[in-house]
Chains A and B, each alone.
Chain A
Amino acid sequence: MTTPAPRSAPNSSVLPEGWGMVIGLEVHCELATATKLFCGCPNHFGDQPNTNTCPTCLGLPGSLPVLNEHAVELAMRLGRALHCDVNRSVFSRKNYFYPDQPKDYQVTQYDLPTNLGGHLDLPSGHRIGITRAHIEEDTGKLNHVGGGGRIHDAEHSLVDYNRSGVPLVEIVSEADMRSSEQAKEYATELRAILLATGVSDAKMEEGSMRVDANVSVHHLGEPWGTRCEIKNLNSVRSLGRAIDHEALRQIDLLNNGETVRQETRHWDEASGRTGTLRVKEDADDYRYFPEPDLVPLVPSAADIARIDAALPVLPAARRSALADAAGVLATSGGVVVAVERGLDHLAQAAIRSGADAGRVLTHVEHNLAVDGAAALSPEGFGDLVKMETSGELTATQAKTVLAEMVATGGAPAAIAQARGFEALDGSALEGIIDGLIAAHAEEWEHFRNGDDKARGKLTGFFVGKVMQASNGQADGKAATALLRAKAGL
């Protein structure tokens, strides 16, 4: 397991000295079921408006909800992946008047949610508490017409109930995050868990994963301030930007002697600002009461044991396994990227075959993370790294060979030979450098006697010439070392 870090994280760097921010996140994710939560309508994004509706999800008189068994299974699976206790739970009605809910209430879980009290370990080592993860139904989608599509100027709204009744889990975190970076990390890690467990397709751009952020600020060492909730965050990047903007807005207010009002604010990606949406209602205002049409959910110990046994290895455990194999920290960049991109099994196999772990992780982080490892075999990858370690290939050559291995699946030795890659032996390198010193006497003088800045520049100059002269076969590090040795440094 990842080592849990202390709960107090460092102050976010975007804030003025002496200020801190406190962040909790509420994440809604649509469950990957075939049908809706309480009826047999398809749970499918992007269909023609209102084609996936029936009397139940349209709230017509006489209709009754019947719970989707698979939705319960997925919700419990997520709960266990987040180390929650799975409890006896009861559905409640949350009453409000808004056309996104044709029934004038949303069926959710209130005082008795399915999952309670878990945690999520961030790749950076911080442990974020999970308050609860409860099951509820999604709402319909409103399209605001007129007024340029802006909510406040719309002339009327068009309602599509295809999404109404789609099963959701809302995951509520503790207010354990202290910077936008941690919030982004949390959202990214949670998404990885949702994908690994098959609970949701977690597409932020399609709204199957939606993140709301509760943000407050305070003088460090003093009690937390009033929080605002930010909605309409459509990407992890928006989440980070919106949190930093909101924290600075609150600090501005307080510095001007004003107060922060508890309210819901809307993030506008284009202008990079948040604006007031409405003053937050109290829970009392929703008049929750138990949903009479749905009976309690009571998971058995056997259900929970079966779910635990079927859980896949989660990202945190995969990071920790790779870190152990590589002899590095689970928080190191190469490990985090390897697991994020699903390259950890490849890296582990290469390391097990005897390839240098540092070089393996460097290739994963810098050369494989972006383009993937399509045709690359663990054996070939291991062999390549061994050739690099032994000096048969320079770092630059290894990168080129690796790219071709990814594309064609070829063996490294064959590719290196076909490209005429043979690392320069020491005497050839020395010959090239001696020639360069003779041809560039003035630069050489500056290299030997100049200050660090001049030497840095001239190192680039000479190594570049070495590469030119050797057709890229020289090893940059070896060339630099030899230059310094010849200069008596």
Chain B
Amino acid sequence: MASLSREEVAHVAQLARLNLTDEQLDTFTPQLAAILANAADVEALDLDDVPPTSHPYPLQNVWRPDVVRQSGVRDAVLAAAPATQDGMFRVPSVLGDAP
């Protein structure tokens, strides 16, 4: 039986950069718990012989040849950006390197 704590919801919200108020946490925690409980019905089944499904389609090994195709979109995309400099996107300084 899946259960979900208020702290877990707050943590997941933080990871998604969502600022939830206390009232919103109170609202969403039981809602999310109910969704998980729904999925937990599946856990009751014996699925040892069923491989995990990552995709619904019966497809594999879909690829393209390694051939260059220039898009030529750079100037249009830069023109649509909030701020640019020297052909680059200008963004607020972010502390630290990539996670």
Segment from B27-35, B40-48, B88-96 that makes contact with A: B88-96
Instruction: List the A side residues contacting B96 at CB < 8 Å.
Output: 151-152, 277-278
> Of A72, A155, A281, which one neighbours B63 at CB under 8 angstroms?
A72
Instruction: List the B side residues contacting A154 at CB < 8 Å.
Output: 93
> Of A66, A90, A157, which one neighbours B64 at CB under 8 angstroms?
A66
**Residues A231 and B97 in contact, CB atoms below 8 Å apart:** yes
- Over the window 284-306 of chain A, the binary record of Cβ atoms lying under 8 Å from chain B Cβ atoms (1 yes, 0 no) is 01110010101111100000000
User: Which residue in chain B gives the minimum CB-CB distance to A281?
Assistant: B99
A220 at the interface (CB under 8 A from B): no
- Over the window 52-82 of chain B, the binary record of Cβ atoms lying under 8 Å from chain A Cβ atoms (1 yes, 0 no) is 0011010111111111111101100110000
> Of B64, B78, B90, B91, which one neighbours A69 at CB under 8 angstroms?
B64
**Residues B97 and A266 in contact, CB atoms below 8 Å apart:** yes
User: Which residue in chain A gives the minimum CB-CB distance to B75?
Assistant: A50
A55 to B74, CA, bound (A): 9
A98-B98, A99-B94, A295-B61 as given contacts; A40 in contact with B77, CB under 8 Å: no
Segment from A11-19, A41-49, A173-181, A253-261 that makes contact with B: A41-49
Instruction: List the B side residues contacting A98 at CB < 8 Å.
Output: 94, 98-99
> Of B54, B73, B93, which one neighbours A296 at CB under 8 angstroms?
B54
Give chain B's interface secondary structure class: loop
**Residues A295 and B74 in contact, CB atoms below 8 Å apart:** no
User: Which residue in chain A gives the minimum CB-CB distance to B65?
Assistant: A69
B15 at the interface (CB under 8 A from A): yes
Instruction: List the A side residues contacting B66 at CB < 8 Å.
Output: 33-35, 68-71
Give chain A's interface residue range (CB within 8 Å of chain B). 35 or more
User: Which residue in chain A gives the minimum CB-CB distance to B99?
Assistant: A96
How distant is B93 from chain A, measured CB to nearest CB, in Å?
A: 4
- Over the window 48-59 of chain A, the binary record of Cβ atoms lying under 8 Å from chain B Cβ atoms (1 yes, 0 no) is 111101110010
A58 to B81, CA, bound (A): 12
A50-B78, A296-B55 as given contacts; A277 in contact with B68, CB under 8 Å: no
Instruction: List the A side residues contacting B61 at CB < 8 Å.
Output: 295-298
A139 at the interface (CB under 8 A from B): yes
A287 to B91, CA, bound (A): 25
Instruction: List the B side residues contacting A68 at CB < 8 Å.
Output: 63-64, 66
A35-B68, A68-B66 as given contacts; A151 in contact with B60, CB under 8 Å: no
How distant is A209 from chain B, measured CB to nearest CB, in Å?
A: 18
A143 to B88, CA, bound (A): 9
A68-B63, A158-B86, A296-B55 as given contacts; A277 in contact with B97, CB under 8 Å: yes
A156 to B64, CA, bound (A): 37
How distant is A102 from chain B, measured CB to nearest CB, in Å?
A: 8
Residues facing B in A192-211 (CB within 8 A) are none
How distant is B33 from chain A, measured CB to nearest CB, in Å?
A: 18
A53 to B66, CA, bound (A): 16
Instruction: List the B side residues contacting A53 at CB < 8 Å.
Output: 71, 73-74, 77
> Of B57, B69, B73, which one neighbours A295 at CB under 8 angstroms?
B57
A44 to B83, CA, bound (A): 25
User: Which residue in chain B gives the minimum CB-CB distance to A167?
Assistant: B66
A96-B99, A99-B94, A295-B59 as given contacts; A54 in contact with B71, CB under 8 Å: yes
A143-B88, A158-B88 are known; give 14 further A-B pairs, CB within 8 A. A41-B68, A49-B88, A50-B87, A50-B89, A68-B63, A70-B66, A97-B17, A154-B93, A158-B89, A159-B91, A287-B12, A292-B55, A295-B59, A296-B55
Interchain residue pairs with CB less than 8 A apart (24) = A40-B67, A40-B70, A40-B71, A41-B68, A42-B68, A42-B70, A53-B77, A58-B77, A66-B64, A68-B66, A70-B66, A99-B89, A152-B95, A156-B90, A158-B85, A158-B89, A158-B91, A231-B97, A285-B15, A287-B15, A295-B55, A295-B57, A295-B62, A296-B61
